Structure 1
Amino acid sequence: MDFFRSGKATEQAVAKSRAGDGGKRDERAVPWVEKYRPKNIDDVTAQEEVVQVLRKSLETKNLPHLLFYGPPGTGKTSTILALARDMYGPEAIRARVLELNASDERGIGVVREKVKNFARVAVGQADPGYSSPPYKIVILDEADSMTTDAQSALRRIMEKYSHVTRFCLVCNYVSRIIEPLASRCAKFRFKSLPRDLAVTRVNHVAQAEGVACRDGAVQALVDYSEGDLRRAMMSLQSASRMVQGAALDADMVAELAGVIPPGVIQGLRAAWAADAHSSQEAVDALVYAGYPASRVLAQLHDLVVSDQQLGSLQKAKIAMLMASVDKALCDGADEKLQLLNLMLQASRIAQAASA
């Protein structure tokens, strides 16, 4: 019983920290993603257009229903939480903001019960010093995971209780939000952070946490995260535990990120010009080394795009082949068989190009 009680207490502590609770916490136990999450709308990195519109809404207290969409790790959830803190303050935010992860609570029952019960209740007293608007906010994270029935039920709730509750839908794929629901929201697209801004932010966290980084280490963290600032921050925190006071360099970052050495990828490309036996040996060595097939595809694709020995038609055929292999891997196909199939068919295409 004590185990379950302690687990529930941990969840409540995390929820309070995300809602802006000002209580004392052990900062060493807080993930850096949460520790350095923007506390107000002015701290949001990049997304200038979105911040400008939201700042104006904060001044006029006229906030429409919102739909934030874009790649992961670009600040969608952080932005709406920062806006809510600026609106309500650290105390009233706990009563005026309901945050749900729709990937877990995505059925029509949650919409009809939890969301509707929260949305229909009028707001309470605001914190002194904060000019809180007369409405609450419901944040539905991962809204693109909600079922169609749940989204349809949410449409009516948004209309009926808009005078006391505003909704913010956060998703990665806006195409998965039904059109009647999307048309009721002001859409904001979050772009991947520019490389220089992401490097500046990761550098700031590294200096604040006392992580020594050599030249190229922070740049490698940002490059391997592919525009996901959250992944870069988590990788930095993991790397700081790995180096144990030493200086972090680009090779350590590559090892931590699971990047395949360029020589291995070059060996796969060279096997295309040899026989089928060479391709099979290359795939066997790759699988035995434990490298994931998805990472092999990504790095091999980048190599093919810049390969001067292949023509445009051959590159297009190999890209379509990689897309087919990637689809099969997502469906649960065997990695070794799919990589071997890729090698054999790409070898025929490459040899045809050189013939």
Structure 2
Amino acid sequence: MASTFFNNKARAAAVSSSSKAKTETKEDTTRQQPWVEKYRPKTLDDVAAQDHTTKVLQRTLQASNLPHMLFYGPPGTGKTSTILALAKSLFGPALYRSRILELNASDERGIGIVRDKVKNFARAQLSQPTGLDAAYLAQYPCPPFKIIILDEADSMTQDAQSALRRTMETYSRITRFCLVCNYVTRIIEPLASRCSKFRFKSLDNSAAGVRLDNIARMENLNLEDGVVETLIRCGEGDLRRAITYLQSAARLAGAAKTGGKDVDEDAEMTDAGADQGIITVRSIEEIAGVIPDSILDSLVQAMQPKGGASAFDAVSTVVTDLVADGWSATQLVGQLYRRVVFTETIPDIQKNKIVLAFSEMDKRLVDGADEHLSVLDLTLRIAGILRG
């Protein structure tokens, strides 16, 4: 034992093997990450399709002085990624943990948390950074304030939002707040008026397509023609959802590779194109739960007027098969809406009544109504409207 300890070659070999093991562990961790986290924007320049917001934030970054901010818009458009990238650009890795407090909807955020955790972090005095060289300070501004990020702030209670007003005013000299939400109307007006508002729009097809193409190239994926367009259509402006679908399809096809090696040798699946490792359009649609056109065609055909005969038997049979196959009622409503409302052969006066039926159906599903009865009622109402 002692001879091994004093043997320089043995010690060097032990250090080398230890560092190699750490490197392999880090690579494994990166490889096992969800692609949504793996390819999350690291800087403001990496944020896609939000040019107006990123330009304004770049200027505030240069001035190193931020106002309170309110980010709102649909999910998967880069709100959380933008504020995290901004915080990392401001403070760098050394000060990020001590200067940033992030609370998500998964955390308890009632009035008690606002009065305790948020207020304590907001009023804590800043300590001067020590041990940072000039190169670090030249790269990261390190302004003299902290940032509190309240993700999904629209789920906070009214009392918690009211308790936040005074905290934002009192400690604004050393603390900035960033509220992130999907619905700005759920933020009380006194909070919204204290913040600079930044609206995030749904990603356009070109920006989302470029990001998906880059991910597919970096993961060495073999895509069938039309896969990116299908991902964009199924994602409906939510890039996070589209990336998740792409990763699931890559696993299904056994095509996800890192450094030329398969991520999982057991990922071979018997899907169409799996032998060649090709991600197909149909596999994306199956993962997204898209109902095949043949099923929609049979449902639309069953709703068509047939003389004086009732459409109940034909519609009921198709709807029962739909529910038995496990298709989502919400997905059915979206696809059936596009199929019926955008049909030019249906008069506008009938479309008005059909849209009203779709809106009532959507509200029922949100409230948790039975899917079978709701879909049956919707389709029979549409059939009755088509009969005139």
Say which SS state the counterpart of residue 168 (structure 1) adopts: strand
Give me the whole-angstrom Cα distance separating, in 1, the residues matched to 2:333 and 2:121.
46
> Structure 1: where are the runs of 5+ without partners?
1-22
Q: CA deviation at 1:143?
A: 0.1
CA offsets 1:176-198 (integer angstroms, 9 cap, x no match)? 00000000000000001110110
SS in 2 for 1:167: strand
Partner residue of 1:32? 35
Unaligned runs of 5+ in 2: 1-24, 256-276
- CA offsets 1:260-318 (integer angstroms, 9 cap, x no match): 00111121111112421111111111111110111110000001122122111211111
> Residue 168 of structure 1 aligns to which amino acid in structure 2?
C
CA distance in 2, matches of 1:319, 1:124: 59
Are residue 297 (structure 1) and residue 333 (structure 2) matched? yes
Amino acid at match of 2:36: V
CA distance in 1, matches of 2:192, 2:26: 40
Q: Does 1:137 align with 2:140?
A: no
In 2, Cα distance between equivalents of 1:125 and 1:268: 68
Kindly state the Cα deviation for residue 123 of structure 1 after the two structures are TM-superposed: 2.1
**If the length of structure 2 is used for normalisation, what is the TM-score?**
0.83
1:177 aligned residue (166, 172, 187):
187
1:213 to 223, 236, 247: 223
Three-state SS of the structure 1 residue aligned to 2:126 is coil
SS at 2:197's partner residue?
strand
Identify the residue that residue 92 of structure 2 maps to in structure 1: 89
Equivalent residues in 2 for 1:162-241, closer than 5 Å: 162-241=172-251
Q: What secondary structure sits across from 1:102 in the alignment?
A: coil
1:348 to 2:351 alignment: no
* 3-state SS in 1 of match to 2:87: helix
Between the aligned partners of 2:232 and 2:198, the Cα distance in structure 1 is: 24
Q: CA deviation at 1:327?
A: 1.0
Equivalent pairs counted in the alignment come to 330
Q: Does 1:118 align with 2:121?
A: yes
State the SS of the aligned residue for 2:279.
Answer: coil
User: Which residue number in structure 2 is paired with residue 248 of structure 1?
Assistant: 279
1:10-56: per-residue Cα shift (whole Å, max 9, x none)? Answer: xxxxxxxxxxxxx9452111111111111111111111110011011
User: Which residue of structure 1 aligns with residue 68 of structure 2?
Assistant: 65
| C-alpha displacement of 1:136 | 0.4
Superposed displacement of residue 329, structure 1? 1.5
Q: Name the counterpart of 2:358.
A: 322
Q: What residue identity is the alignment partner of 2:298? A: G
Distance 1:256 1:94 in 2: 37
Equivalent residue, structure 1, for 2:161: 151
Does the Cα contact within 8 Å between 1:122 and 1:135 map onto a contact in 2?
Answer: no
CA distance in 2, matches of 1:332, 1:308: 33
Q: In the alignment, is residue 268 of structure 1 matched against residue 299 of structure 2?
A: yes
Q: Structure 1 CA distance, aligned partners of 2:380 and 2:243?
A: 39
CA distance in structure 2 between the partners assigned to 1:310 and 1:125 by the alignment: 70
- In the alignment, the residues of structure 2 paired with residue 24 and residue 348 of structure 1 have an alpha-carbon distance, to the nearest angstrom, of 62
Per the TM alignment, residue 103 of structure 1 is displaced from its structure 2 partner at its CA by 5.0
1:258 and 2:289 matched? yes
Other-structure match for 1:78: 81
Task: Give the root-mean-square deviation of aligned CA atoms.
Answer: 1.3
Q: Tell me which of 107, 111, 122 is aligned to 1:108.
A: 111
Return the alpha-carbon distance in structure 1 between the equivalents of residues 110 and 343 of structure 2: 48
1:152 Cα deviation after fit = 0.3
1:110 positional shift: 0.6
**How far is 1:102 from its partner?**
3.5
Mapped to 1, the partners of 2:159 and 2:186 lie a distance apart of 13
Letter in 2 for 1:108: I
Instruction: State the one-letter code of the partner of 1:101.
Output: N
Supply the distance in 1 between the matched residues of 2:339 and 2:165 (Cα, whole angstroms).
46
Partner of 1:47: 50
| 1:153-182 deviations in Å (ceiling 9; x for gaps) | 001100000000000000000000000000
User: TM-score scaled by structure 1?
Assistant: 0.91
* SS class of match (1:67): strand
Name 1:5's counterpart in structure 2.
none
Identity of aligned residues (%): 53
Structure-1 residue corresponding to 2:347: 311
Radius of gyration: which is bigger? Answer: 2
Please report how far the alpha carbon of residue 331 of structure 1 lies from its aligned counterpart in structure 2 after TM superposition: 1.3
- Cα distance, 1:125–1:40 mapped onto 2, change above 3 Å: farther
Question: Which piece of structure 1 moves more, 85-94 or 126-135?
Answer: 126-135
Distance 1:42 1:308 in 2: 43
Question: 1:6 matched to which residue of 2?
Answer: none
The 2-side partners of 1:63 and 1:41 are apart by 15
CA separation in 1, counterparts of 2:57 and 2:101? 19
